[in-house]
């Protein structure tokens, strides 16, 4: 028995399912989850000491690699002054100023402690600002586990094939309208059917919770136009894409501005951090400036702030990192295309910037339905073959892969060699 197997058996006695976030349980792909002990750069090491080339990178935030030295040192130094105050610090201002300087169309920002909290708060703000209750989300997009977002969510919910969530009331579900991703006509129909009742449209501008799904030409622009016409707040969930696809996130990369934006992952440098921000006229409705209540004891926590600030400052001061990430991911993309072509199973590779996913399908993967109809049983076999060879992919066909700057050409070549063995 491996150390991971021993730890998993032990964990299940005191932790539901043995894990603290469901996708980690390997339920979708089968087998025992790996318990990690340490990581550095592009590599993680499990409890048995085996090395893995990491394509999850803590689900995105390790954009510069694990244990990035400037971030680690900044955390160590800041911790000497206390790990929490429950009072304002100058660092919170510096963090907000940095975010506003990097992100298009963001005038003000409120720090929170997770992406879920950021999305939940942004929706509440949109409702308070407009005086309306209903909103539109897209099938397969995951905006955290707040009740309103768990209707036809992707990612872990899709992994476990749970589409009706116990504990989410019918009243909450009635205010959540869903449309297929990349289907502008469906959105227009929902808006027409619910005229004057919609507070917001929330969307992952590049979806990462049904694999990497790229917006079709005109889709985001169409949402922007609808929101402008109908007085609806457009929310970009950039928990994954923010500060990863460009210094200004998907807004900058794709050239479409949202009214509110939510952040997580990279913004925390590996610490539990989230944020939401946007236009001043909307953000001023958040308490204590306005009447839309939101609070958090650990919001703006100094350890989380210094980790995120150091990470964002590095990215802002070195914009060439983004070209490096794009080049590495494109090299991986071309190599995967060549290696997978040696097998007999049809496949589709979706990529934008340093987000990429492989779907074993004979048709384009453009939304949740097409992602779900892929040969995900084959993906599970593919996953375990690579895992056995020391390549750590997301343990679900419904997740994007994330590339880090620490990944080398040699690491990618080793990965591609493992892919060839997996498909032959």
pLDDT digits (tens, 9 = 90+) for 332-365: 999 999 999 999 999 999 999 999 999 999 999 9
Residue 187: pLDDT above 50? yes
Q: What strands, in cross-sheet order, belong to the sheet with 355-359?
A: 348-352, 355-359, 401-402
Residues above pLDDT 70, as percent of the chain: 97
Specify the pLDDT at position 162: 47
The per-residue pLDDT for range 387-421, each reduced to its tens digit, is: 999 999 999 999 999 999 999 999 999 999 999 99
CA angle (128 as vertex; 260, 282 as ends), nearest 5: 40
Of the residues 78, 152, 265, 279, only one is catalytic, namely: 265
* 275 in Cβ contact with 55 (< 8 Å): no
Residue 156: pLDDT above 80? no
Please report, for the chain, how many H helices and E strands are present, in that order. Answer: 15, 14
Rounded to whole angstroms, the maximal C-alpha distance in the chain is 61
Residue 297: pLDDT above 50? yes
Residue 401's alpha-carbon distances to 38, 45, 160, 287, 364, in angstroms, are: 20, 18, 19, 37, 18
Provide CB contacts within 8 A for 140, sequence distance 6+: 152, 153, 154, 158, 181, 207, 209, 210, 213, 367, 368, 371, 398
The mean of the pLDDT values for the chain is: 95
Of the residues 43, 68, 142, 181, only one is catalytic, namely: 142
List the one residue out of 277, 396, 418 whose CA is nearest residue 336: 418
Provide CB contacts within 8 A for 225, sequence distance 6+: none
The residue-averaged pLDDT of 358-380 equals 96
The per-residue pLDDT for range 48-86, each reduced to its tens digit, is: 999 999 999 999 999 999 999 999 999 999 999 999 999
Residue 182: pLDDT above 90? yes
- Model pTM score: 0.94
Instruction: Name the CATH topology of 69-317.
Output: 3.40.640
Domain boundaries defined on the chain: 3-67+319-423, 69-317
The residue-averaged pLDDT of 355-378 equals 96
The secondary element (H helix, E strand) that includes residue 312 is: helix 302-317
Of the residues 46, 54, 175, 237, only one is catalytic, namely: 237
Specify the pLDDT at position 160: 47
Is residue 331 annotated as part of the catalytic site, yes or no? no
Residue 14: pLDDT above 80? yes
Specify the pLDDT at position 173: 75
Instruction: Please determine, looking at this structure, whether the domain spanning 3-67+319-423 carries the CATH number 3.20.20.150.
Output: no
Specify the pLDDT at position 374: 96
The residue-averaged pLDDT of 120-134 equals 97
Is residue 68 annotated as part of the catalytic site, yes or no? no
Phi, psi for 178 (deg, rounded to 5): -125, 150
The residue ranges of DSSP E strands in 206-344, in sequence order, are 233-238, 260-263, 274-278
The per-residue pLDDT for range 80-100, each reduced to its tens digit, is: 999 999 999 999 999 999 999
* 368 in Cβ contact with 341 (< 8 Å): no
Is residue 265 annotated as part of the catalytic site, yes or no? yes
What is the band of 148 on the pLDDT scale with cuts at 50, 70, 90? confident
């Amino acid at each position: 028995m491996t150390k991971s197997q021993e730890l998993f058996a032990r964990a299940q006695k005191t932790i539901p399912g043995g894990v603290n976030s469901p996708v980690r349980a390997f339920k979708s792909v089968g087998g025992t989850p790996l318990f990690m002990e340490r990581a550095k750069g592009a590599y993680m090491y499990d409890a048995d000491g085996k090395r893995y080339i990491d394509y999850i990178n803590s689900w995105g935030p390790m954009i510069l690699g694990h244990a990035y030295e400037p971030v680690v040192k900044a955390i160590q130094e800041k911790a000497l002054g206390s790990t929490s105050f429950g009072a304002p610090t100058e660092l919170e201002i510096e963090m907000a100023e940095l975010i506003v300087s990097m992100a298009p169309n963001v005038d003000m920002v409120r720090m929170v402690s997770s992406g879920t909290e950021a999305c939940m708060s942004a929706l509440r703000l949109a409702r308070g600002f407009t005086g309306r209750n209903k909103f539109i989300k897209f099938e397969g997009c995951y905006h955290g586990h707040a009740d309103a977002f768990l209707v036809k969510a992707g990612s872990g919910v899709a992994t476990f094939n749970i589409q009706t969530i116990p504990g989410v009331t019918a009243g909450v579900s009635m205010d959540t309208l869903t449309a297929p991703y990349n289907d502008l006509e469906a959105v227009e129909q929902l808006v027409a059917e619910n005229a004057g009742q919609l507070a917001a449209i929330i969307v992952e501008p590049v979806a990462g919770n049904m694999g990497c799904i790229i917006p079709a030409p005109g889709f985001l622009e169409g949402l922007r136009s609808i929101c402008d016409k109908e007085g609806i707040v457009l929310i970009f969930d950039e928990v994954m894409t923010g500060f990863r696809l460009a210094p200004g996130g998907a807004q900058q990369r794709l050239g479409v501005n949202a009214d509110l934006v939510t952040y997580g992952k990279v913004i925390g440098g590996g610490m539990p951090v989230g944020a939401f921000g946007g236009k001043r006229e909307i953000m001023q409705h958040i308490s204590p400036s306005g009447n839309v209540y939101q609070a958090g004891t650990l919001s703006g926590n100094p350890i989380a702030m210094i980790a995120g600030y150091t990470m964002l400052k590095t990215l802002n001061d070195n914009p060439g990192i983004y070209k490096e990430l794009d080049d590495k991911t494109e090299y991986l993309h071309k190599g995967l295309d060549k290696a997978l072509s040696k097998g007999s199973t049809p496949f589709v590779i979706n990529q934008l910037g340093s987000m990429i996913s492989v779907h074993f399908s004979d048709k384009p993967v453009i939304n949740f339905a097409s992602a779900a109809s892929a040969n995900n049983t084959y993906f599970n076999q593919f996953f375990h073959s690579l895992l056995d060879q020391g390549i750590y992919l997301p343990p679900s066909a419904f997740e994007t892969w994330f590339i880090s700057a620490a990944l080398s050409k040699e690491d990618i070549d080793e990965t591609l060699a493992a892919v060839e063995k997996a498909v032959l």
